[in-house]
Structure 1
Amino acid sequence: MGLTDLPGELLELILCSGVLSAADIGRVSCTCRRLWETCQARGKVWRERFRRRWPSLLKYYSQTDNVNWLKEYKARHNAGLETRRIVASFSKRFFSEHVPCDGFSDIETLGCPGHFFEDELMSILNMEGRKCLTWKYYAKKILYFLRQQNILKNLKAYLEQPGDQLSFLEGAVLIDQYCNPLSDICLTSVQAQVDDITDKVRKVLRTKNPRHPSLAPKAGEVLIVSDVEFQRQVLDAMNCVLYEQLKYKGNEMDYYNSLNSFIHQVLIRRTGIPISLSVLYLTIARQLGVRLEPVNFPSHFLLRWCQGKEGSTDIFDYVYIDAFGKGKQLTVKECEYLIGHHVTEEFYGVVTSKEVLQRMVGNLLNLGKRFWTSCSMSKRWIHPSMGQ
């Protein structure tokens, strides 16, 4: 029995094995009509070859798409060759400034999909050993630039939306992505973690009040709990889950660590600063139907919970929630005790999602200034005999 006499499924299994290279499959397909049909461009053989070579790229394709896998394989292969050529051609003159003005012009005009180019850059970064350190250096610089450019486009589109439609969590994720472009951070993953916490809150809530309206949200409907007592039950359940079960807390020991400002790190480390914990707290509360609002309080970001008429301008109609302080509920006077001095009424007012983002960015900029100031101060105290 010859190779072409084998059943189609067995023949495909042989050709899909890791023993044959792409060049081997190309040669096999040229031998006869039977093998040419088995190795057709849109078939299983080339799809498997693509998957084995670049497994991380399959997420960009749908199972229902009629993909020309041979064409995609060639495009990705050529993109890899072009990427390596560009990385090898870079020199230090491109990085004399923070962002080069013309160093990436040849990259931005490439004809291949952007994820092909990024995938090749990641493969360069993941090379083993100390070889190609120069390539790794430039590949990292290029990848930073490309991803931050894409994130800036997403951030611009986000800010162009109407203010009442902006998600605080999405804004926090965009800032996180921009500051950590090489990390695998996506809104879907972060939202899934927040949803998991929300489900835990519902379980606690169910033990307290099985008929609570937050337990049965209708699909596609924005959940709103109007009764103050029902809202209080939600907040109590949230405090139980976040601070007692999951042990979230304000990072008092290492307050100025930049990780406290990144929402994905807050979820991993379960600690943060007032504004990052407030974004998490507010997001969970709103998913459960309780509308909390952000308050740009000086030195300590807070949330407010309305106890009077909705939309009231009287600051005494609100209870102020300190997410950094384990969800403690404060009066106006207690807010002032928190920071140690009196403030005017304007600081108790609600702020927009854009203003929340501005404060988060401002915090990160201040952390950068603090770091460089401490570095320069430490250099001043180094004795000349000790070097630098």
Structure 2
Amino acid sequence: MAASLSGEGRVPSEEEAARSPDSEDSPGDEHRTLQLCPGLLSLPGEVLELVLCSGDLDYKDIVSVTCTCRRLRDVCAARGAVWRRQLFARWPSIMKYYNQLDLLDWLEEYKTRHKAGIEAQRIVAVFSKLLIIEHRMPCEGFNDLDTSGYPVHFIEDELLSILQTENGKCLTQKYCAKKILYFMRQEATICKLKGFLQRPVDQQDILEGAVLIDQYCNPLKDVRLENIQAEIEYILRRVKVYLSAKNSRHPSLSPQTGESSHIEDLDLQGQALDALNHVLFTEMMFKGNVADFYNPLNSYIHQVLINRTGIPISLSVLYLTLAERLGVHLEPVNFPHHFMLRWCQGAQGGSNITDYVYVDAFGYGKCLTAKECEYMIGQHVTEEFYAAVSTKEVLQRMVGNLLNLGKRESKDRSFMLLRVSLDLYLAMYPDSVQHLLLQARLYFHLGIWPEKVYLLNLATCQNMPNSNMKGMLEYADLPLRIIMQYLFYYFIEG
């Protein structure tokens, strides 16, 4: 069809598809088109647009159409539906980054995505060549990703398309694409986490923090905050349906009730929590993963929602988020061996532990007294452990759990878990000498980024009071191999 409209049998090249035809049509173009397709141009513009948005035309056909005459070129306007359809038809996975009401230059978006794909393939080719020749991933090459000038989601989309190709002969390219994608997403997530921690305390949403940890530990998974929030909304709707059957005038059913508006009446709060417990633990069958307690998946909020199992802290994050949306204010408690939530039964802000009951999300939402909490863990606990903790402290405990899991076994998966959990911990507490040393030892053991290990150890030396360690900075100009040998004996053997 497009070839007959243009009067040519030639198929436009990829470069032509990435250019907008700006030249004026010749006087005979419209006459030739009318002869080939009588009545076509008499159709309304909306109808022509629908025809050109049909599933049988690709971007080369659209370029041919735009070269035919001014009328069809106007129908294929850069901000119209034709190029939008072409963009999403060729790269459907990027639709999630756009809104239905977006008014963009879709032709420019198409060209940018096309060029970003070429750039991503070039970077992968460079990495693949160096991997084959030098048997290593070029760490310095990651800097090119920051200066490519293209939207990150376009580069990531091209890398994903490389990973998803079924060609079994491109294993090196797939390996490099995976490593690059891993690096890009983790760098973006760690920047978001640092920005998150710099917000005022009252603006640090505990669910968002848990999702950031999840994203950093699972960079190749499609873990997005909006998807997690959609799951939360689904559970919340079910709770409200159940609650409305019990009390149709309950304040939790009001759209205004939520994090900014809490219910004051204790009986009404109890009704909301009873409804939450019924839906979450009876209907949806969420539960603590007793059988596989030390599985890292229990700490990732997206896996908790999929598997409906978790550990005390991950279930508490879910429970607290839902309770807040119902207008019930709960606070996280860093209880030893078993993370809890506390629910105030007296005046808000009371410091007496008897003013609270403690909600065990791992135990199906059961409410316990302070004494019952001690009986549950089998030891006496001082009052300081019953105090509410900040969002940062909750995230620290989540990362600490992953860190301990990474130390448990000497397997490749454990090393990776140990590595990402150390990265997260140091993002929150960058001056922790103990964790800086552990990270340096781990990197040295794995044989990755020796330059980074060197810098890590120098940073550690600067943070340590030992004068002998500070003296090591004087040898910064020595060959890296000699310094690394010394560091090995000092940190690992010594």
TM-score (norm 1): 0.89
The answer as to 2:152 corresponding to 1:114 is yes
Asked whether 1:49 is paired with 2:86, we answer yes
Match of 2:37 in 1: 3
Partner of 1:261: 299
Indicate how the Cα distance of structure 1 residues 219 and 233 shifts in structure 2: closer, same or farther if over 3 A, else same: closer
Partner of residue 288 from structure 1, selected from 326, 329, 332: 326
For 2:383 and 2:216, locate their aligned partners in 1 and report how far apart those are by CA, in whole Å.
34
The residue identity in structure 2 corresponding to 1:82 is E
Q: What is the aligned counterpart of 1:365 among 397, 403, 412?
A: 403
Say which structure, 1 or 2, has more relative contact order (CA 8 Å, 6+ apart): 1
CA distance in 2, matches of 1:15, 1:239: 53
Specify which of 274, 282, 285 is matched with residue 236 of structure 1: 274
Question: Whole-Å Cα distance in 2 between the matches of residues 154 and 142 of structure 1?
Answer: 19
| Partners of 1:220 and 1:202 in 2: CA distance | 13
* 1:31-180 equivalent positions in 2, closer than 5 A: 31-90=68-127, 91-92=130-131, 101-180=139-218
Give the gaps of 5 or more residues in structure 1: 377-388
Q: What is the SS of the residue equivalent to 1:247?
A: coil
Q: 1:17 to 1:251 in 2, by over 3 A?
A: same
Matches within 5 A, 1:192-341: 192-218=230-256, 222-341=260-379
Q: Secondary structure at the match of 1:268?
A: helix
Q: For the residues of structure 1 that align with 2:411 and 2:70, how far apart are their CA atoms?
A: 72
CA contact (8 A) 1:214 1:223 kept: no
Q: How large is the Cα RMSD of the aligned pairs?
A: 2.5
Alignment of 1:189 onto 2:227: yes
Alignment partners' CA distance in 2, 1:219 and 1:226: 11
Checking the alignment, whether the CA contact within 8 Å between 2:257 and 2:326 is kept in structure 1 is no
Q: How much does 1:45 deviate?
A: 2.9
- The CA distance in 2 between the partners of 1:216 and 1:11, in whole Å, is 47
Could you say what secondary structure the match of 2:358 adopts? strand
User: Over residues 122-149 of structure 1, what are the superposed CA-to-partner deviations in whole Å (9 max), with x where a residue is unaligned?
Assistant: 1101101412111111111111111111
AA aligned to 1:126 is Q
TM-superposed deviation, 1:246: 1.1
Name the CA distance, whole Å, in 1 between partners of 2:101 and 2:279: 41
User: Residues of 1 paired with 2:71 and 2:202: CA distance?
Assistant: 61
CA distance in 2, matches of 1:337, 1:143: 48
Deviation at 1:40, TM superposition (A): 3.3
Cα distance in 2 for residues equivalent to 1:146 and 1:94: 22
**Aligned mates of 2:46, 2:348 — CA distance in 1:** 67
What is the CA distance between 1:44 and its match in structure 2? Answer: 3.2
Residues of 1 paired with 2:277 and 2:389: CA distance? Answer: 23
Provide the TM-score with structure 2 as the length reference.
Answer: 0.71
User: Which residue does the alignment assign to 2:6?
Assistant: none
| Aligned-partner Cα distance in 2 for 1:268–1:52 | 30
Q: How many Å separate the matches in 2 of 1:57 and 1:184?
A: 12
Structure 2 CA distance for partners of 1:86 and 1:330, relative to 1, 3 Å: same
Give the secondary structure class of the aligned counterpart of 1:304: strand
Q: CA deviation at 1:19?
A: 4.4
Paired position in structure 1 for 2:429: none
SS at match of 2:342: strand
Q: Distance in 2 between matches of 1:106 and 1:172?
A: 30
Distance across 1 between alignment mates of 2:303 and 2:409: 20
Q: Give the % identical residues.
A: 60
Distance 2:383 2:182 in 1: 43
Distance 1:46 1:237, change over 3 A: closer
The DSSP-based 3-state class of the residue aligned with 2:168 is coil
Cα gap change, 1:25 to 1:367, in 2 (>3 Å): same
Question: Residue type of the partner of 1:73?
Answer: Y
Matching residue's letter, 2:218: N
Q: 1:237 to 1:12 in 2, by over 3 A?
A: closer
Name the aligned partner's letter for residue 205 of structure 2.
S
Specify the alignment match of 2:59 in structure 1. Answer: 22
- Looking at structure 2, the residues matched to 95 and 236 of structure 1 have their Cα atoms a distance apart, in angstroms, of 59
Tell me, what secondary structure is at the counterpart of 1:34?
A: helix
Q: Distance in 1 between matches of 2:289 and 2:199?
A: 33
| Cα distance per residue 1:63-86 (max 9 Å; x no partner) | 444422222222211111111111
Match of 1:386 in 2: none
Check conservation: 2:251, 2:257, Cα contact below 8 A. no
Counterpart residue identity of residue 293, structure 1: E
Q: Distance in 2 between matches of 1:313 and 1:326?
A: 26
Say if 1:245 and 1:25 are closer, same or farther in 2 by CA, change over 3 A.
closer
Q: Deviations over 1:304-336 (max 9, x none)?
A: 111222211111221111110111111112111
Partners of 1:4 and 1:34 within 8 A in 2: no
Inter-CA distance 160–282: structure 2 relative to 1 (3 Å threshold): same
AA paired with 1:50?
Answer: L
Runs of 4+ in 1 over 6 A off after TM superposition: 373-376
Asked if the contact 1:223/1:287 (under 8 Å) is kept, the reply is: no
Shift of 1:375: 9.4
Q: Number of residue pairs matched?
A: 374
Q: Following TM superposition, by how much is the alpha carbon of 1:194 offset from its aligned partner in structure 2, in angstroms?
A: 1.4
Partner-residue secondary structure (3-state), 1:329: strand
Q: In the aligned structure 2, how far is the partner of 1:119 from the partner of 1:257?
A: 30
Alpha-carbon distance in structure 1 between the residues aligned to 2:225 and 2:82:
34
Larger-Rg structure? 2
- Post-superposition offset of 1:374: 11
Deviation at 1:373, TM superposition (A): 7.2
Letter aligned with residue 171 of structure 2: L
- The 3 A distance-change label for structure 1 pair 29 and 76 is same
Offset from partner CA, 1:260-314 (integer Å, 9 cap, x none)? 1011111111110000001111111111111111110111101111122221111
